[in-house]
């Protein structure tokens, strides 16, 4: 029987993590991987056989301005989004995410829709989390 351990990744695990992720070039982001500090690994008999990262993300939410001011080119929402992104960069967040019905507005800041990728959301703490049987 193989000895299986689930643990936080270590610096020395980086090559194994990268090699494992490289086996999924179409499914997983290859260029900007999270830091090894964000990864958890499954090790069997000293070999990394699975990994997952819990990356530090910042979510941009609830961007709103008084409807009476819309269209007046005051750029109030722009200023607020920029402040949120500045805070994220200073806090060393690696990724900003959002859910929107107006992607054109956010594309101006560099947000992009990733082809072939689906964003999924789970609000933690509301009792809706499920634990599938392994």
Question: Rounded CA gap, 24 and 19, in Å?
Answer: 9
Q: Which residues contact 58 (CB under 8 A, 6 or more apart)?
A: 84, 87, 88, 91, 93, 95, 96, 97
pTM metric for this prediction? 0.66
**Angle, alpha carbons 123-98-63 (nearest 5°):** 100
Given a cut of 70, whether residue 134 has pLDDT beyond it is: no
The tokens for 77 are 């929402």
* Average pLDDT, integer, range 93-116: 87
- pLDDT score recorded for residue 133: 81
21-39 pLDDT, tens digit per residue, is 999 988 787 777 888 988 9
The percentage of the chain sitting over the pLDDT mark of 70, rounded to a whole number, equals 99
57-70 pLDDT, tens digit per residue, is 888 889 888 888 87
Domains (range + CATH), the chain:
4-53 (no CATH), 57-134 (3.40.630.30)
């Amino acid at each position: 029987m193989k000895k299986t351990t689930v643990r936080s990744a270590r610096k020395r695990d980086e090559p194994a993590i990268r090699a494992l992720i490289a086996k999924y070039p179409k499914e997983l982001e290859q260029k900007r991987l999270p830091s090894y500090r964000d990864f958890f690994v499954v090790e069997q008999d000293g070999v990394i056989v699975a990994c997952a990262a819990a990356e530090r993300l910042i979510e941009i939410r609830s961007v709103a301005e008084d409807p009476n001011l819309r269209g007046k080119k005051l750029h109030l929402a722009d200023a607020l989004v920029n402040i949120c992104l500045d805070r994220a960069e200073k806090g060393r967040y690696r990724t900003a995410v959002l859910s929107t019905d107006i992607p054109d507005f956010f594309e101006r800041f560099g947000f992009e829709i990733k082809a072939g990728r689906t964003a999924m959301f789970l609000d933690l703490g509301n009792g809706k989390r499920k634990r599938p049987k392994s």
